[in-house]
Structure 1
């Protein structure tokens, strides 16, 4: 019996060697592989669904990118929704970076929704979309000496923020909330730079539309950097909406890199922040952070990670984080 078993294993071993040895004998060198190995298309590790909406009320074809939650909501709760402006720049890195925060319950189960454009399906953003949708006023340079005069794409067809947020409020959000079982009171809006300007505008003009805001380096210089600060568009909006009341607690996290003061963004943001503070609305909760050693071009990852966990700091049921933000 033992002899038969040994013969059996010997046959198996020889068979395996007959298969493996030719493979090693003909193994390609790295140089050969570089010439023969076929590349494969990268696929994002998490599922992202894409929806092209019908032409919206402002005449634009929007494309929504939706990443479903990493984890299901806790029993008796529904997932929140995090809406991203500038999705080609912000949506993908944010969804990847915050994986652990969601998985370990530092933030709630969340749908990530990027509000993009069908004419950017090739992955290249068009500045005219941002100029149209993220600016609250129409602007044109007064003369050829103005710093924007050589870049018409940065001002032509500007002033569409109201029409854009009508689409968000009446078309995008209703679609998402009809498609998915989400908490209609747990919405977050994320924007940076020009889309941060738009998000700041929404804070003041759309009370109750979002419960939390994560705003990074907003372009408060809009219309116009050469004007005194209080004469710029967003500061006029702040003054005109100073009596706005918020129907429930609304948290707003602002962040900017300390190296952005070369464009006066730090001072500008503090001016807006102080204007909002002076509303003394008990439901409007504000925080601001100036992040060291950060430029405008690279501030978003740090700001987003600090902001998204900070927006849920002290919330009942969340895992305790290292965030120092207070929302009293």
Structure 2
């Protein structure tokens, strides 16, 4: 893509990462510097995210969206997803014995529980490197993640809330390890005090908990249906948003958006579009 670059970076454990960077044009939209959006699963989603930001920020006076630095966290592969490494990097360590549901294809789960080390890499290596190349507005930082990346986004909010201001958890895998992220949610809520200025957007596809029409026609419909119903993707997300919504008085603004006719994969572009509006612009329709 034009105006983008890919950086090879190594974390402190010696593993190589690809960090995708989209450079904005012109001058920063404020004296404080450029807004920053960081997203997970960059091999799959960076191009879409960068193009959406570039297109919508061309005429801020019409779209309301300002330019930003877009940074994607990816891996040294030409595949859209590194399923083994993302599973480890995006998941928190279990509290107690690990309990995981059988995967639909009956394959073994790869290692899990590396979210803290990955957060150390993001906070200690990626963000400082980007900050050396761009003046960054410290209060306009957004983290976006989908699926396990959405779980990672929630975990980051709950354990290191000052790292970003805006958090977008798209289709978060709250079910992981007997919903271990809920214990971190409780710790976060107990420690939250007035004076914060944090925003959380949880998005979900309306078809993520029941078999889609395509899955119903498949040979493994019962397996897929059991997987979806056991994981309660939609219910878990709705319930978390409802629990956190009353915290506006402590400086956490929570929104929940469900895209009715989308499934776990098709919902990604819609989630990206809504994330860009929240992070860089304003709603297109005024509230009555």
- Per the TM superposition, whether the score is higher than 0.5 is yes
Match of 2:204 in 1: 256
* Distance of 1:325 and 1:159 partners within structure 2: 41
Among 176, 189, 211, which residue is 1:242 paired with? 189
Moved more, 286-295 or 123-132: 123-132
Asked whether the 8 Å contact 1:136–1:162 carries over to 2, the reply is: yes
Match of 1:101 in 2: 56
SS at match of 2:164: coil
Match of 2:102 in 1: 146
Match of 1:303 in 2: 271
Match of 1:69 in 2: 24
Among 65, 70, 74, which residue is 1:116 paired with? 74
* Distance of 1:325 and 1:150 partners within structure 2: 47
Match of 2:215 in 1: none
Answer 1 or 2: higher relative contact order, Cα 8 Å, separation at least 6.
2
* Distance of 2:68 and 2:75 partners within structure 1: 22
TM-score (normalised: structure 2): 0.82
Unaligned runs of 5+ in 1: 1-43, 225-231, 315-320
Q: In the alignment, does 2:270 pair up with 1:322? A: no
Match of 2:174 in 1: 220
Residues 1:82 and 1:254: Cα distance change in structure 2 (over 3 Å):
same
SS at match of 1:297: coil
* Distance of 1:299 and 1:203 partners within structure 2: 22
TM-score (normalised: structure 1): 0.73
* Distance of 1:217 and 1:282 partners within structure 2: 25
Q: How many equivalent residue pairs?
A: 262
Match of 2:160 in 1: 206
Residues 1:107 and 1:117: Cα distance change in structure 2 (over 3 Å):
same
The 5 Å alignment of 1:1-328 reads: 44=1, 46-53=2-9, 55-74=10-29, 76-105=31-60, 106-118=64-76, 120=77, 122-138=78-94, 140=98, 146-147=102-103, 150-152=106-108, 155-224=109-178, 232-245=179-192, 248-262=196-210, 263=228, 264-279=232-247, 281-312=249-280, 321-323=283-285
What's the C-alpha RMSD, in Å, of the aligned pairs?
2.5
Residues 1:240 and 1:76: Cα distance change in structure 2 (over 3 Å):
closer
